[in-house]
Chain A
Amino acid sequence: MSSVGTIIRAIFVKDLITELRAKQLLPTIVCLGVIIAWIFCIAAQAASVDVSVAAGAVLFIAMLFAGILASDKGFAVEQENDCISSLLLAPVDAGDIYIAKLLVNIVILCIFEIVTVPAVLILFKVTVSGRWLRLIAVLLLGNIGISSVGTLLGCIVHQTRAASSLLSVLVMAVLMPIMIPAIVALLLLFGPVVPQTVGAGTFGIAGDFKTAIGYIAAFDAIFVTVCWLLFGLVVGD
């Protein structure tokens, strides 16, 4: 039998090769991200609102939709020709399949952000000079959160042959504990919003950058662990 590392690497490489050859997902999510940012930017300018305030929320919404599409596509590939059964027939722990799929989704979101983040920064006229590491930390933790839930729910939706639109609703509802602190962290990085204002307002649960990052990291850990444990039940009988 193969080691856990070999199995995860094999599934990870297979999924990346499949995506690079199909050329379906990455162009779609990159276009979607840029279009979302552009539409919000036009709307904010038309309303004579300071566009930079919306940059963080727009970026996270784009990440969310990209993550949902990536999760959906990740299991559509396995359903084609009933390939998921061939993986389940192998002496492979379902948790290893989950980790490999999770890593693929995280990498796809990272590639998506390489294009989308500069687009958002330009369109919304915001700068992050000197705060790049903080931005990367928020994006990476956001990617982990979105992918952890998306990977599990993507599998459920495909196993039960439910409509893919159900995936978006489920992912957004479950990800609420990550969405709020992630948007707050991005607002603090991008905007003219002062931390005290944010802390006293709607997002009181994550009033400063470190608290917001802490919340995201904690929920990431919870989501990854719970989803990893549940994955075996979802793909099983």
Chain B
Amino acid sequence: MAEKLQKSAEPPAVDVAGVSKSFGNQLVLEDISFHLTNGQGLCICGANAAGKTTLLRIMTGLLQPDAGTVRICGFDVKSQPQQAKAKLGAIFHKSMVYPQLTVIENLRFFALVYGVRNGKAHIQNLLEQTALMPYRYDRADILSRGMMQRLAIARALVHKPIVLLADEPFTGLDADASNHLVTILNNFKDEGGTIVMTTHDVNLSLQCCQYVAVLDKHRLIFSAKVSEINAAAFANDYLSYARENN
């Protein structure tokens, strides 16, 4: 996998090397390796319970691997967690925002926790990017699923991370909300950000990632540059494969 992803002179924004993880006797990930430089996006597809979320949680440092290392912008997630976390934003299945706080209070809280300078201007910018400006004084618990997902993205980007990890970001979104999310993710990538995303929605994810990989039987069994494959054919093949394996 590492060889297939484009190598560059820049230090990798994401460097995953030989990561393995088991829960008890159940092997979940085996010898996963890849690296990405700034401005690149990788979409990891896989059937349910293939280990996609586990891989992302290991990359954030929320889970420790049994073997292997994860480096974010050169910082080891295990031995230099504070530095690595400062460069990392993540969205998971749950929104990870406080329902009793308003949209703007959530963002201000996380900006404070991350020590963001010029937080006010950056938050205004994020609210505009995510089209949440009209809802900034609304409590998070009254937001729709699409708005909640945009708030989750804004929270993940509030500290201007270099790397964004997104676990099935399109789940539960309608077409408009999904397209808006693709735009936000592409803007992040265009500004030099790196994205690692897991998804079942191959068509949408291929719009914001240059690389695609398939995780199956604990390993990355396929990886390719999106520009070098027939995206439509890949999406069809993947859908058939996912139906068989779920």
Interface residues of A (CB under 8 A from B): 1-3, 6-7, 10-11, 14, 17-18, 21-22, 77, 80-83, 85-92, 237
Judge whether B100 is part of the interface by a CB distance below 8 angstroms.
yes
Are A2 and B98 interface neighbours, CB within 8 A? no
Determine the chain A residues whose CB is within 8 A of the CB of B97 once the complex forms. 81, 83, 86
Chain B residues with a Cβ under 8 A of chain A: 60-64, 81-83, 85-86, 88-90, 92-101, 105, 109-110, 112-115, 139, 155, 159
Identify 5 new A-B residue pairs, CB closer than 8 A, beyond the known A22-B100, A83-B96, A91-B83. Answer: A17-B100, A77-B98, A77-B100, A86-B97, A237-B62
Contact of A237 among B63, B82, B90, B94 (CB under 8 A): B63
Closest-CB distance, B28 to chain A (whole angstroms) = 14
Report Cα–Cα, A95/B109, bound state, in Å. 18
In the complex the two chains form, what is the Cα distance from A21 to B142 in whole Å?
14
Say which residue of B93, B96, B139 sits within 8 Å of A86 (CB atoms).
B96
CB of B114 within 8 A of CB of A1, answer yes
CB contact between A81 and one of B62, B90, B96 (< 8 Å): that residue: B96
Whole-angstrom distance between the alpha carbons of A85 and B105 in the complex? 18
Residue A17 contacts which of B89, B99, B105 (CB distance < 8 angstroms)? B105
Are B115 and A81 closer than 8 Å at their CB atoms?
no
Q: Which residue of B lies closest to A11 (CB)?
A: B113
Check if B98 sits within 8 Å of A91, measured CB to CB. no
Q: CB-CB < 8 A to A81: which residues of B?
A: 94-99
Q: Name the A residues within 8 Å of B100 (CB-CB).
A: 17-18, 21-22, 77
Closest approach, in angstroms, between the C-beta of B21 and any C-beta of chain A? 10
| Complexed CA–CA distance, A23 and B229 (Å) | 56
Asked if A91 and B114 sit within 8 Å, CB to CB, the answer is yes
Give Cα A17 to B140, complex, Å. 14
CB distance from B63 to the nearest CB of A (A): 5
Return B173 CB to nearest CB of chain A, in Å.
Answer: 17
If A1-B82, A1-B114, A7-B113 touch, whether A14 touches B101 (CB-CB below 8 Å) is yes
B92 CB contact (under 8 Å) in A1, A14, A77, A85 = A85
B96 touches A2 (CB 8 A): no
**Complex contacts, A2 vs chain B, CB 8 Å:** 112-115
**Bound: A3/B117 CA distance, A:** 13
13 residue pairs bridging A and B, Cβ less than 8 Å apart: A1-B114, A80-B99, A81-B97, A81-B98, A81-B99, A82-B92, A82-B93, A83-B96, A87-B113, A89-B85, A89-B89, A90-B85, A237-B63
CB closest chain-B residue, reference A19: B100
**Among A1, A6, A91, A92: residue with most chain B CB under 10 A:** A91
Please tell me if the beta carbons of A91 and B155 are within 8 angstroms of each other in the complex. no
Query: Which residue of A has the minimal Cβ distance to B155?
Result: A86
- State in angstroms the CA–CA spacing of A91 and B113 once bound together: 8
Residues of A within 8 A of B85 (CB): 89-91
Instruction: Give chain A nearest CB distance to B241 CB in angstroms.
Output: 29
Q: Distance (Å) between the CB of A99 and the closest chain B CB?
A: 14
**Beta-carbon nearest neighbor of A84 in chain B:** B96
